[in-house]
Amino acid sequence: MRKTIAAALVILAATYGMFLVWFSPDGKQTPKVENGLLDLTAWRFADKGIVPLDGEWEFYPDKLLFHEDFTSSPANENNRLPGRIEVPGSWSDQMNTLGMATYRLRIKVGDTAEVYGLKTSAI
């Protein structure tokens, strides 16, 4: 019985160790989202790899907004007063759990001719 428990603990520790190594940052500092902006103008994807989009995004509770809502039109002024929300995270402390909201992240890139992509595991 003790050998079985010990073997199970070793397997469990090895599994958690592998996950820790696999998902831990490899020492490189990545740019951080602050105030709804991620500045990647100095980031070289070919050398440094992907960038997580974690950080402080703009948040508009109870509103579904489109690109046109962020233009300079004075009629859209009320739609452009964002809150802030930490991503990943939950909006449950800012509004009802069931509802709608708009998250907004502005990204500055150095090479506007380059093609960029997003990969998500869940939204």
pLDDT at 25 over 60: no
Q: How confident is the model at residue 15 (pLDDT cuts 50, 70, 90)?
A: confident
pLDDT at 76 over 70: no
Give pLDDT, residue 36. Answer: 94
pTM: 0.68
> For the range 70-77, what are the long-range contacts, defined as Cβ-Cβ under 8 Å and sequence gap of 24 or more?
70/104
State CA 45 to chain mean position distance: 17
pLDDT at 120 over 60: yes
Q: How confident is the model at residue 119 (pLDDT cuts 50, 70, 90)?
A: confident
Average of pLDDT values for 79-84?
77
> What separation in angstroms does the CA of 117 have from each of 14, 53, 70?
34, 12, 22
- Helix, strand or coil, per DSSP, at residue 57: strand
Q: How confident is the model at residue 7 (pLDDT cuts 50, 70, 90)?
A: confident
